[in-house]
Chain A
Amino acid sequence: MTAGTLRVVLAALAALLALAGCTAGPPTAAAAPIGERAVRVTTTTNFITDTVRRIGGDRVEVTGLMGPGVDPHLYRASAQDVRALREADIVFYGGLGLEGKMADLLADLAQHQTTTAVTDGIPREALLPAPGGAPGQYDPHIWFDVTLWEQVSATIAATLSERDPQHAATYRQNLDAYRSELRALDTEVRTRIAAIPPAHRLLVTSHDAFAYFGRRYGIEVAAIQGISTAAEATTADVERVADLLASRAVPAVFVETSVPRQTIDALLAAAARRGQQARVGGELFTDAAGAPDTPEGSYIGMLRANAGRIADSLSATTVTQGG
């Protein structure tokens, strides 16, 4: 390679860097002030998307990055997501490590635009530690405790009112309406779980997402694998949970929508060897709500569906295979 070519390449590199430099500026200013147009909100998981829509009403234009059935850790950005993030007036995310490496991006965003972790308003002592995690790390699956989600809704309303103070009264009103629905939901879930025979109140799932649910609604939780959907369950994990199933004669276990089913099948086989015929009690929603326009597509509908499936399957007295 001659010195001439080298010089050309160096010049090209410098030009490219300059190009990348002058372009990475602050977001382009929106044409109209916020009070006169819809607030552009971008959200990560679809529980947050749904809740922002409920509280923002027609004042907000929400773009959700993660659709139904998406594990937030396995989310892949699409080309238009870049625009949705850059042009958002507010970005709402779950926080507590829910979004994985995307947390780096969210920290970068926070330097330029309003970026709120919806779990920020929850006092740290109300949080559970991440199982096996380092000190200071919390379990992010707070949406399974409806009272915690109420606090999330309040944080969302406060952030919206801050950016769009002219319409603070609207947000307040919507929040109050949503809150009373959440309270009714909390009572409903509590009643349904309390109706399960006490010995059967054991929720076996493949991935550790229900600790808050267990704490709030009084049901013991056992997961086969840890909090990460990437770690594989060990044989010891499967045997341990199978022992628990057999000793309590629990009739059903649960497969989650965002976790592969093989681990649960291995567990059922292990329980059967111990004389306990358990069946799959249905799929529970964990990291994402269902498809839009279905009852499970909203936060409230998702939680109601989960509670119903858990209560129905665990209350069953006679166990039939494959039902």
Chain B
Amino acid sequence: MNDDLVIVVVAGLVATACGLLGPFLVLRRIALLSDAVSHAVLPGIVAVWLVGQTRAPLPVIAGAAAFAVLCVLAIDALRASGLVASDAAIALVFPALFSLGVLGVTHFADGIHLDLDSTIYGEIAFTPFDTVTLGGVEVARAAVVLAVVVLANLALIALLWKELKATTFDPEFSATVRLRPRLLSRLLLVAVAVTAVAAFEAVGAILVVTMLIVPAATAYLLTDRLVVMVGLTVGIGWIGAVAGHRIALGLDSSIAGAMGLVCAACFVLALVGSPRYGPAARAMRHRTRAVDTAGAGPRPG
């Protein structure tokens, strides 16, 4: 029972940390960034092994974070060059970094298990067992780390709300009013990189990639107001966390997988039921219009 609660809270914190940033990624059309980061951290892990011959969590996270930040900044620079589109910028940077990492593994670290799974990706099922003592109480370490990330992300978007909003929707206009869209974009991307690495370490890659994209894409279909979108994103993430955990217990399957599937199911529901874009709404509008036209037709008589 208790362990189950810890797992749901940790997943909820991941949903919150990711949900605060996800809407901006979706709106800026760089949603795949988290997946890029999940691969681009490999050379960081190899570098840490080369320098310190260690696979201890802290240095590995530091090395991974360095390359995550490098990855997002390189993507941002490519995007800003105007020579390649967003999706191409992402697809150009992370395979290069991942290849560098694979080369490093086969060249320097053949014979040891130096891969993403055995060094950085955590497993959400194991988070209740890894505890730290905080003010006399044992708390899951992942919950503490993720709470800090949530606070940092919250501070970022609360302090820069207007600026982020303006640069997201109209970068050209915001440049003319000196909002420095490039700087804001970089800040946001660095936040994504740090969030992703911290969350990878706690709960594994697939849950983080899911939580950064799927709830935000779902919320995008349901509202046109940014603040509502952020709230909905976090809420949908929590639904995924709670319902996904129930399902995983019932099926005795992967927790992260079940949570990801619930989020995907929410997206499908929103796609069908979206008030503006969904087929249901469109059919309804069509009928209303037909009735209106019929009503406005020539009167009998």
Please report A residues at the B interface, Cβ cutoff 8 Å: 1, 6, 9-10, 13, 16-25, 73-74, 76-83, 85-86, 97, 100-102, 104-105, 108-109, 130-134, 137, 208, 225-228, 230-232, 234
Find the A residue at minimum CB distance from B206: A76
Contact B248 A78 (CB under 8 A): yes
Does chain A have a CB within 8 A of B129? Answer: yes
Q: A78-B253, A81-B125, A228-B111 are in contact. List 11 more A-B contacts (CB 8 A).
A: A1-B157, A1-B161, A16-B9, A16-B12, A16-B147, A23-B2, A24-B3, A102-B126, A104-B126, A108-B130, A227-B113
A134 to B137: give the CA distance in the assembly, Å: 37
Select B2's contact among A1, A13, A25, A80, beta carbons within 8 Å. Answer: A25
Residues B34-61 near A (CB distance < 8 A): 53, 57
A50 to B154: give the CA distance in the assembly, Å: 50
A73 to B228: give the CA distance in the assembly, Å: 42
Majority DSSP secondary structure for residues of B touching A = helix
Contact B121 A101 (CB under 8 A): yes
Does chain A have a CB within 8 A of B249? Answer: yes
Contact A20 B10 (CB under 8 A): yes
- Given the known interface contacts A22-B137, A78-B253, the answer about A228 and B131 at a Cβ–Cβ threshold of 8 Å is no
Contact B9 A80 (CB under 8 A): no
Select A109's contact among B129, B137, B245, beta carbons within 8 Å. Answer: B129
Find the A residue at minimum CB distance from B154: A9
Contact A24 B9 (CB under 8 A): no
Contact A105 B126 (CB under 8 A): yes
Contact B2 A227 (CB under 8 A): no
Binds A, one of B138-146, B176-184, B289-297: B138-146
Select A231's contact among B106, B119, B143, beta carbons within 8 Å. Answer: B106
Residues B183-225 near A (CB distance < 8 A): none
Contact B118 A101 (CB under 8 A): yes
Chain A residues with CB below 8 A from B7, complex form: 82
Contact B134 A21 (CB under 8 A): yes
A1 to B161: give the CA distance in the assembly, Å: 7
Chain A residues with CB below 8 A from B242, complex form: none
Select B254's contact among A78, A83, A227, beta carbons within 8 Å. Answer: A78
Contact A19 B9 (CB under 8 A): yes
Residues B233-258 near A (CB distance < 8 A): 245, 248-249, 251-255, 258
Contact A130 B111 (CB under 8 A): yes
Select A20's contact among B126, B139, B154, B255, beta carbons within 8 Å. Answer: B139
Interface residues on B, range: 35 or more
Chain A residues with CB below 8 A from B2, complex form: 23-25
Does chain A have a CB within 8 A of B112? Answer: yes
Number of A-B contacts (CB under 8 A): 157
Select A6's contact among B10, B147, B154, beta carbons within 8 Å. Answer: B154
A228 to B46: give the CA distance in the assembly, Å: 14
Contact A76 B254 (CB under 8 A): yes
Chain A residues with CB below 8 A from B13, complex form: 16
A108 to B127: give the CA distance in the assembly, Å: 10
Chain B residues with CB below 8 A from A6, complex form: 154, 158
Select A133's contact among B5, B112, B131, beta carbons within 8 Å. Answer: B112
Contact B110 A228 (CB under 8 A): yes
Select A24's contact among B125, B140, B253, B255, beta carbons within 8 Å. Answer: B140
Residues B87-141 near A (CB distance < 8 A): 102, 105-106, 109-115, 117-119, 121-123, 125-126, 128-131, 134, 137-140
A170 to B152: give the CA distance in the assembly, Å: 58
A85 to B121: give the CA distance in the assembly, Å: 20
Contact B9 A132 (CB under 8 A): no
- Given the known interface contacts A21-B137, A23-B2, A134-B53, the answer about A16 and B143 at a Cβ–Cβ threshold of 8 Å is yes
A10 to B118: give the CA distance in the assembly, Å: 34
Contact A24 B147 (CB under 8 A): no
Does chain A have a CB within 8 A of B151? Answer: yes
| Selected A-B contacts with CB under 8 Å, 6 pairs | A20-B5, A20-B6, A21-B134, A24-B138, A79-B245, A79-B248
A104 to B151: give the CA distance in the assembly, Å: 27
A1 to B150: give the CA distance in the assembly, Å: 15
- Given the known interface contacts A17-B143, A78-B254, A232-B102, the answer about A134 and B117 at a Cβ–Cβ threshold of 8 Å is no
A227 to B114: give the CA distance in the assembly, Å: 10
Chain B residues with CB below 8 A from A74, complex form: 117
Contact A231 B110 (CB under 8 A): yes
